[in-house]
Amino acid sequence: MSHRESPLYIDTSAGLEQFCLEVQGAAWLAMDTEFLREKTYFPKFCLLQVATDRAVACIDPLALKSLEPLTDLIYSPAVVKVLHSARQDLEIFFHLYGKVPAPIFDTQIAAPLLGLGEQISYGALVAETLGIHLSKAHSRTDWSRRPLTPEQLRYAADDVIYLAQAYQQMRKRLDTLQRTQWLEQEFSDLVQPEVYEANPDSAWQRISGCLQLKGRQLSVLKELAAWREQAARKQDLPRGWLIKDEVLLDLARQQPQDPDALSHVRGLDERTQKKHGATLCGLVKEALERGPMNLDLKARPTKRTPEQEALLDLMMAVVRLRAAQHTLSPSVLASRKDLEQLLDGHEDAKLSKGWRHSMAGEELAALLRGELGLKVLDGNLRLFAHA
């Protein structure tokens, strides 16, 4: 499609059916979504852009009663869904249909394996892989407003037109380097339903400053955060519209058990006190009766011993060796913090899973177990297996 042409805009069931016939049999589908979330708990799905190597369309979920039969393609295990920074897009489909599309290919996750930066933006990815600099003219568009202008539709379509091109180039390079399979675990992790299920019991963990609280304060915060999560979901309102994070923290610290005490909590407006005051006080009482909550946090050493620092230096030498071997920046493969997590035995250490495990983590673990060592051979550092 020429960049000057308006992309196919689909707002009827007949148009969607025709498009699905055109792309039938596609091995992959580049996808992006436009949504709003400023005034809701759930993202408001406003536009879906899709592309294959032969077709592109902007599909209007606000005008269509159903996305069928496109959902058959989106959920087909035979079709790879290509996205960039996929989590928020996948969340929309999880909330709509109760399951996550799979399999996927996330170009942001794949980028570091090709020497590109971690957490690379879509614009930077397109510039690096295709040499094209995208416009940001409509980055603040209200995608819920209709009609959409031809310029807005072209801008939206660019998100999948160039994503499709970048994917084909990246996939070819990854296959040549035999690195595609290294991404399978990370892509698989991203389509697990639990990633998108907001558990009210763990809502307190997403509140900045929560770890400054202890004992009964934490118990109160957990109870209040769980209530807010359920209420926000039920009313489809942003969490902060009910009660802001900092107010929950103050409630946990002050632990008011009657309406008069609520008036001393900074930031708790009169309207919220009247509407939810009795509920909040009841939750505080329940949490206090339940007793203090103890966190099972691993103690982190305040200072490494000289031996530990030397071991970390040794591990970093292995990282540098493997990064050079695979033409990657060492910082993309592992930071010193990543090495510390592996050394400390953290279950979620980056180097214990995915492509980093394949490239260096497995060898580093063997080094820590004493199964591998380092030696200098002809002036070069080499890994060797102990006899």
* Domains of the chain with bracketed CATH: 8-195 (3.30.420.10), 200-290 (1.10.150.80), 306-385 (1.10.150.80)
pLDDT tens digits, 184-229: 989 999 999 999 998 999 999 999 999 899 999 999 999 999 999 9
pLDDT in tens, the chain (387 residues): 444 456 899 999 999 999 999 999 999 999 999 999 999 999 999 999 999 999 999 999 999 999 999 999 999 999 999 999 999 999 999 999 999 999 999 999 999 999 888 899 999 999 999 999 998 888 789 999 999 999 999 999 999 999 999 999 999 999 999 999 989 989 999 999 999 998 999 999 999 999 899 999 999 999 999 999 999 999 999 999 999 999 999 999 999 999 889 988 988 988 999 999 999 999 999 999 998 987 655 445 568 999 999 999 999 999 999 999 888 889 889 999 999 999 999 988 999 988 899 899 999 999 999 999 999 999 999 999 986
pLDDT at 59: 98
Q: What are the tokens at 170?
A: 């990246």
User: Which residues, 6+ apart, have CB-to-CB distance to 226 below 8 Å?
Assistant: 200, 201, 203, 204
pLDDT for res 302? 62
Tokens of 128: 């690096």
Tell the burial category of 15 from Cβ atoms under 10 Å away from its Cβ (0-12, 13-18, 19+): middle
What is the pLDDT at residue 62?
98
Q: What is the per-residue pLDDT for 4?
A: 44
In Å, how far are 47, 54, 205, 330, 333 from 156, measured between CA atoms?
9, 17, 35, 35, 33
Q: What is the pTM of this model?
A: 0.85
E-only strand ranges, the chain:
8-10, 28-36, 44-51, 56-59, 80-83, 104-106, 372-377, 380-385
Of 57, 69, 66, nearest to 157 by C-alpha is 57
Q: Can you give the pLDDT at residue 139?
A: 79
pLDDT at 299: 46
The dihedral built from the CA positions of residue 239, 38, 64 and 105, taken in this order, carries a sign that is negative
